[in-house]
């Protein structure tokens, strides 16, 4: 390069430097940090009037946020997560329970992580997944670049799977989740990122640091409630750590923080007394986790974006389905989902335009087994609720037999809400109507005073329910992916069963008569031979005979007093098909052949 060329190059380069610096400073799409507490109630914040709990960081976050007074989630955790991840009502996504295979997010649903990743975001998740736990359903397969799926519910010495590999930590889980998140944020601080932090606290079993629990016991709080407050306090401390690190990295002004809970507080009959709940429920909202009363489904929602959003309180109706479209709206990303959203973007509310959107309706549903009762939790369920719902049964599900709610901007109609305390004013027709603006504690049913409003909302509820039943995934069971390596089919998550065979929350049982069967939906990715085996508990000595088949192929094997049985090699063709396990001979036992049948395992041969 000669002198003249060099000078020309140097001059051009020097002229370009300011432009390069300017480009470097150009604002990127906002980062998103989405945090979800587990079983934390509306009343579990000092900001909401609790005089005992200490939540300084969450209170500060709320005070500096746009916070929502009428934001609703679903009665229990897996449904809320399904709606959060898809922007669609959870029943449309294949989720209808929290166990028994009814908590798997359908494979063709597009998650918020999928959408943001397609829009140029780095995506990470650490904590409670609860949207499927077999091949194809893991978070690192649903749009997250990296994910730690924590074991449930292990609050101390956290363990789980990091991108499919088992890991263990000698730390409290809440701290571990934030450690992962902060590492991710630091790595991607100069690029748009989406960090999803679904905490495990304060879900039972109740466990927290003794020093934090003692702090509340010294205030006169019982050990169980003190532990709950300490668990929430740990979340609060980690949120403080997050806020401080964002400031240190100088990315706070380009980061949107969203905080909510997945449902209301658990009734915890085995841990809390009525006095404990009276102390905890400072706003006197009715109900608990598991039902459609206000305290079961009303959640805090803070949206924090310093320099962009002014602190404000929004009283317009919103729900968890609205978060998906709102994040995409803030990121200026088109929704890639071909199916209609139940949610809508509330971006105008964030910028003070609370009159811009028309009124909306928000719908909710509770599984009949969810409302709290005096009966302790039973792994086999209390209403045979883990039994699969066949397509024929689904068509016959009348909305009038369901536990449902619909609310507009003023009124909320509850159908068959149920309660530990009988409500005579609702008993005649199972309908309760409340003016939520004037009566948020739901003490005065207005159904008889406003028959036209009841009729209008009931008609909306009937139409909505019909639209749910028409969805192909509503009340469906998972499709199990089968490919290279070891594959697991959950025995307790069948598509159909014979009348005697039953499903518990994580096992199948009551296989007593020849002809008993269970049918599973599978998606075979590679044709070939698969070594088939069963994992079970069988306490009665016997030599039963079972057949595993996927037409036209089958294998037959013996069940003995053992924990595993190898059945043989089953040839499977590529594609979607049904896998049937059938009892051919119950042997000499008069008891169930399987006390607990856990899995069908298919190992791809070479």
- For residue 264, say if its preceding peptide bond is cis, omega within 30 degrees of 0: no
pLDDT, one tens digit per residue, over 140-177 is 999 999 999 999 999 999 999 999 999 999 999 999 99
pLDDT confidence bin for 6, thresholds 50/70/90: very low
HSE-CB for 424 with a 13 A CA cutoff: 0
The pLDDT value recorded for residue 24 is 37
CA distance 174 to 172: 6
Q: Is CATH 3.40.720.10 the right assignment for the domain spanning 35-192+202-251+260-355?
A: yes
3-state secondary structure 135-173: CCCCHHHCCCCEEEEECCCCCCCCEEEECCEEEECCCCH
Domains of the chain by residue range: 35-192+202-251+260-355, 365-469, 479-604
| DSSP states of 278-331 | HHH-TT-----TTSSSHHHHB--EEEE-TTT---EEE-S-EEGGGHHHHHHHHT
CA distance 240 to 309: 20
β-partners of residue 571 are 529
β-partners of residue 600 are 489, 534
Residue whose C-alpha is closest to residue 71's, from 277, 359, 321, 257 = 321
pLDDT, one tens digit per residue, over 314-345 is 999 999 999 999 999 999 999 887 888 999 99
Q: Which of 76-85, 338-347, 423-432 has the highest mean pLDDT?
A: 76-85
* Average pLDDT of the segment spanning 268-277: 95
Q: Is CATH 3.40.50.300 the right assignment for the domain spanning 479-604?
A: no
Give rounded-to-5 percent helix, strand, coil for the chain. Answer: 25, 25, 50
**Statement: residue 71 has pLDDT above 50:** yes
Residue whose C-alpha is closest to residue 322's, from 299, 338, 305, 306 = 299
Query: What are the contacts of 547-553 at 24+ separation with CB within 8 A?
Result: 547/580, 547/581, 547/582, 547/584, 548/579, 548/580, 548/581, 548/582, 548/600, 549/579, 549/580, 549/582, 550/522, 550/577, 550/578, 550/579, 550/580, 551/577, 551/578
The pLDDT value recorded for residue 430 is 85
pLDDT, one tens digit per residue, over 558-602 is 998 888 999 999 999 999 999 999 999 988 767 889 999 999 999
Distances (CA, A) of 191 to 22, 30, 122, 251, 326: 16, 9, 8, 10, 20
The pLDDT value recorded for residue 592 is 87
Q: Residue 148: how many CB atoms within 10 A of its CB?
A: 27
The pLDDT value recorded for residue 466 is 98
Q: Residue 596: how many CB atoms within 10 A of its CB?
A: 19
**Statement: residue 426 has pLDDT above 80:** no
The pLDDT value recorded for residue 423 is 61
Q: From the centroid of its chain, how far is CA 348?
A: 26
Mean pLDDT, the chain, integer: 93
pLDDT confidence bin for 10, thresholds 50/70/90: very low
Residues in Cβ contact with 502 at an 8 Å cutoff, skipping those fewer than 6 apart: 380, 384, 386, 387, 508, 509, 510
**Statement: residue 18 has pLDDT above 90:** no
| DSSP states of 425-471 | GGTTTSEEEEETTT-TT--S--TTT-HHHHHHHHHHHHHHHHHHHTS
Domains 35-192+202-251+260-355 and 479-604 share a fold: no
pTM score, two decimals?
0.93
Q: Which residues of 160-178 are buried (b: 16+ CB within 10 A; e: fewer)?
A: bbeeeeeeebeebbbebbb
CATH class of 365-469: alpha beta
* Average pLDDT of the segment spanning 429-448: 92
CA distance 387 to 508: 10
pLDDT, one tens digit per residue, over 465-493 is 999 999 999 999 999 999 998 999 999 99
pLDDT, one tens digit per residue, over 178-235 is 999 999 999 999 999 999 999 999 999 999 999 999 999 999 999 999 999 999 999 9
The pLDDT value recorded for residue 9 is 42
pLDDT, one tens digit per residue, over 22-70 is 333 345 899 999 999 999 999 999 999 999 999 999 999 999 999 999 9
**31 touches 256 (CB < 8 A):** yes
* Average pLDDT of the segment spanning 268-291: 96
**164 touches 186 (CB < 8 A):** no
pLDDT confidence bin for 421, thresholds 50/70/90: low
CA distance 291 to 137: 27
The pLDDT value recorded for residue 134 is 97
Residue ranges of E strands in 473-527: 479-482, 486-490, 496-497, 502-503, 508-509, 517-524
Collapsing DSSP states into helix, strand and coil, what is residue 381?
coil
pLDDT confidence bin for 121, thresholds 50/70/90: very high
Assign residue 214 a region (left: φ > 0; alpha: ψ between -120 and 50; beta: otherwise).
alpha
């Amino acid at each position: 390069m000669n002198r003249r060329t060099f000078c020309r190059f140097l001059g051009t380069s020097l002229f370009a430097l300011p432009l390069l610096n300017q480009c470097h400073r150009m604002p990127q799409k906002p980062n998103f940090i989405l945090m979800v507490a587990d079983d934390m109630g509306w009343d579990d914040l000092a900001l909401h009037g609790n005089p005992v709990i200490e939540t300084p960081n969450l209170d500060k976050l709320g005070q500096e946020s746009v916070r929502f007074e009428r934001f609703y989630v679903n009665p229990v955790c897996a449904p809320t997560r399904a709606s959060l991840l898809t922007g669609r009502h959870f029943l449309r996504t294949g989720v209808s329970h929290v166990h028994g295979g009814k908590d798997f997010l359908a494979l063709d649903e597009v998650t918020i992580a999928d959408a943001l990743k397609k829009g140029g975001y780095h995506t990470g998740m650490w904590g409670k997944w609860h949207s499927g736990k077999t091949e194809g359903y893991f978070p690192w397969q649903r749009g997250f670049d990296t994910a730690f799926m924590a074991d449930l519910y292990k609050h101390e010495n956290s363990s789980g799977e990091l991108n499919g590999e088992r890991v263990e930590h000698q730390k409290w889980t809440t701290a571990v989740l934030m450690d992962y998140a902060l590492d991710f944020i630091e790595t991607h601080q100069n690029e748009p990122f989406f960090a999803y932090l679904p905490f495990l606290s304060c879900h039972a079993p109740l466990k927290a640091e003794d020093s934090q629990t003692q702090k509340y016991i010294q205030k006169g709080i019982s050990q169980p409630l003190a532990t709950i407050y300490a668990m929430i306090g740990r979340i609060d401390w980690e949120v403080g750590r997050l806020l401080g690190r964002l400031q240190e990295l100088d990315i706070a002004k380009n980061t949107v923080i969203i905080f909510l809970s997945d449902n209301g507080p658990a009734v915890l009959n085995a841990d809390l007394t009525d006095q404990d709940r009276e102390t905890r429920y400072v706003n006197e909202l009715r109900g608990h986790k598991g039902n459609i009363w206000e305290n079961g489904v009303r959640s805090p929602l803070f949206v924090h974006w310093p320099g962009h959003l002014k602190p404000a309180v929004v009283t317009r109706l919103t729900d968890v389905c609205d978060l998906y479209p709102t994040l995409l709206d803030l990121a200026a990303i088109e929704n890639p989902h071909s199916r209609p959203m139940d949610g809508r973007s509330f971006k105008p509310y964030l910028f003070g335009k609370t009159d811009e959107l028309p009124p909306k309706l928000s719908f909710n549903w509770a599984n009949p087994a969810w409302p709290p009762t005096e009966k302790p939790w039973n792994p086999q369920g209390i209403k045979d609720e883990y039994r699969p719902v066949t397509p024929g049964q689904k068509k016959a599900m009348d909305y009038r037999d369901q536990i449902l709610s619909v609310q507009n901007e003023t009124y909320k109609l509850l159908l068959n809400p149920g309660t530990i305390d009988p409500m005579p004013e609702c008993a005649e027709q199972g309908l309760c109507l409340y003016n939520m603006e004037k009566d948020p504690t739901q003490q005065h049913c207005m159904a008889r005073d406003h028959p036209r409003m009841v009729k209008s909302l009931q008609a909306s509820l009937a139409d909505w329910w019909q639209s749910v039943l028409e969805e192909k995934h509503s009340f469906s069971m998972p499709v199990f992916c089968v490919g290279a390596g070891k594959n697991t089919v959950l025995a307790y998550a069948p598509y159909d069963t014979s009348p005697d065979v039953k499903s518990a929350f994580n096992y199948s049982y009551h296989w007593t008569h020849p002809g008993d069967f269970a049918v599973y939906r599978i998606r075979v990715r590679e044709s070939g031979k698969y070594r088939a085996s069963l994992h079970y508990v069988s306490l009665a000595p016997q030599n039963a005979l079972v057949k595993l088949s996927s037409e036209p192929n089958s294998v037959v094997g013996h069940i003995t007093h053992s924990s595993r049985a190898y059945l043989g090699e089953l040839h499977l063709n590529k594609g979607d098909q049904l896998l049937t396990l059938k009892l051919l001979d119950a042997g000499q036992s008069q008891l169930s052949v399987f006390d607990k049948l856990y899995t069908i395992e298919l190992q791809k041969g070479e």
